[in-house]
Amino acid sequence: MGSTHSDFPATNRASEPTRPFPPNRASRPAGTLPPPATLPESTGAAPLSHGTIPNRNPVPVSLPGHPSGSDTLHPAGRHPKLLDRLGEALHARHYSRRTEQAYCHWVKRFIFFHNVRHPGEMAEPEINAFLTHLAVKEKVSASTQNPALSALLFLYRHVIRRNLGDLGKVIRARKPTRLPVVMTREEVKAVLASMTGDKRLMASLMYGAGLRLMECLRLRVQDIGFSRHEILVRDGKGAKDRITMLPASLTILLQAHLKQVKAIHERDVAEGWGRVQMPTALDRKYPNAPKDWRWQWVFPQDHRWINPTTTEQGRHHVDESLVQKAVRDAVAQAGPTKRATCHTFRHPFATHLLEGGYDIRTVQELLGHSDVKTTMIYTHVLNRGPAGVRSPVDGL
């Protein structure tokens, strides 16, 4: 039941559960890699795995040169493949599934860039050459180059177990300072008016409570506190919990939505299904919890999907791509010239609260920022900026 599915949403969540069922479609990280190639036997290193991303629930293995583990977990004479070891090392440190996918992708890019040489045969010069190629030839942004460097550092430190030396000569892309795209209240209202159904409710929650897209989709019934008008965001970005407000104007709509969801859940249970995936293997500790109403998703899928291996049926939360497409279409229909996405709703949430006179520390807690400096980027709206300066041409 613990298979990896790249099209389902996942963020950097430390205790993100695995998907118990296969997805409706398949995808892979950007950049198609060449077919697998066999490493020379002279390398003496563990073979590479050029297939799918390692399983999220791999069986613990004994790494070559490492005292822990059991050799009986692998067939005799077979060492775990390099990317399998990388996936196991990431999973053991509770990295998110999406981070595992990204790291494995960059490690494969690094290997094929150097003509399928094993990383054990390479070191700082090859890493510098690869990162320099990304920055100079492919002209990638800093947000693309930095994960590539992080993936290689993790590989050498925790899998190959080699301390790297000087990487100072690598050409790094300087990270630019950007201001967030902030929609006005009229623009937000127009975008929401162009949406319908549960997609509009999700977008309203993202704007009204400052939720990230995946934080909204991963809400469970017990996370909504109607009596206290609050929402508990569990295991958000950086594996942090926080409490934000439940907009009063959405209370009745959300209660009506949950009434429909509960009817669907009761029908699933009556048909012998209705189990939901639990975080951190809580279903082993509480066997009946997966069918409990409190643990169900607030925004479940419309249709059950079937695990072809176990024939089990279940519902996960709505796929992120469906909400992203709904917001994209609504923005195009509403007509604002700004590039707005699901995450853009967090920017007017913070900006409009600051304009309303709320303390920046309060906004910081509602957004889940670790450092107030991150929240201070929204204070640019508190002064009038260029709009408060009279141009000299207006005096002619």
Is the pLDDT assigned to residue 34 strictly greater than 60? no
Poorest-pLDDT segment among 88-92, 149-153, 161-165, 220-224: 161-165
**pLDDT average, residue stretch 251-271:** 95
Encoding tokens for residue 257? 């939505």
| Length of the chain counted residue by residue | 396
How far, in Å, CA of 253 to CA of 302, rounded? 18
Q: Is 352 a catalytic residue?
A: no
4 band by pLDDT with thresholds 50, 70 and 90: very low
Q: How confident is the model at residue 171 (pLDDT cuts 50, 70, 90)?
A: low
What 3-state class would DSSP assign to 232?
Answer: strand
Catalytic residue among 95, 103, 156, 378: 378
The pLDDT tens digits of the residues spanning 305-349 come to 887 877 888 899 999 999 999 999 999 999 877 889 999 999 999
Which pTM does this prediction carry? 0.70
Q: Which of 11-20, 160-169, 306-315 has the lowest mean pLDDT?
A: 11-20
Q: How far is CA 155 from CA 38, 243, 376, 382, in A?
A: 20, 36, 35, 45
Which residue among the candidates 56, 212, 220, 347 is catalytic per the annotation? 212
Q: What percent of the chain has pLDDT over 70?
A: 75
Can you give the pLDDT at residue 384? 55
pLDDT at residue 214, as a whole number: 93
pLDDT in the model for residue 166: 67
Residue 172: pLDDT band with limits 50, 70, 90? low
Of these residues, 19, 91, 109, 346, which one is catalytic? Answer: 346
212 a catalytic residue: yes
CA distances in angstroms from 344 to 183, 196, 206, 210, 299, listed in the order given = 8, 19, 9, 10, 20
Would you place residue 227 in the very low, low, confident or very high pLDDT band (cuts 50, 70, 90)? very high
pLDDT number for residue 180 = 86
Residue 156 confidence (pLDDT): 92
Is residue 265 within 8 Å of 253, Cβ to Cβ?
Answer: no
Predicted local distance difference test score (pLDDT) of residue 98? 86
Residue 369 is among the residues annotated as catalytic for this protein:
yes
- The residue ranking higher by pLDDT, 61 or 178, is 178
Q: Annotated catalytic, 378?
A: yes
Q: Is 267 part of the annotated catalytic residue set?
A: no
With 0-12 / 13-18 / 19 or more C-beta atoms within 10 angstroms meaning exposed / middle / buried, residue 331 is buried
The band of 386, judged by pLDDT with boundaries at 50, 70 and 90, is low
Q: Residue 7, Cα to own-chain centre: how many angstroms? A: 11
Choice among 74, 240, 304, 343 that is catalytic: 343
What percent of the chain has pLDDT above 90? 46
CB-based burial label for 373 (10 Å; 0-12, 13-18, 19+): exposed
pLDDT-derived band at 79 (thresholds 50, 70, 90) equals low
Spatial separation of the C-alpha atoms in residues 64 and 162, rounded to whole Å: 13
Query: Does the pLDDT of residue 388 top 80, yes or no?
Result: no
Asked if 82 and 116 touch (Cβ cutoff 8 Å), the reply is no
CA distances (Å), 6 to each of 16, 70, 77, in order? 14, 30, 31
- pLDDT (tens digit per residue) in 268-309: 999 989 888 888 788 888 988 999 999 999 999 998 888 787
Q: State both tokens at 224.
A: 């909504």
Task: List the catalytic residue out of 114, 237, 242, 328.
Answer: 237
Distance CA 235, CA 231 (A): 13
Compute the CA torsion angle 179, 185, 191, 197 (nearest 10 deg): 120
Name, in order, each residue with C-beta under 8 angstroms of 297's C-beta and a sequence gap of 6 or more: 217, 218, 219, 220, 221, 261, 276, 315, 316, 317
Told to judge if 237 belongs to the known catalytic residues of this protein, a careful annotator would answer yes
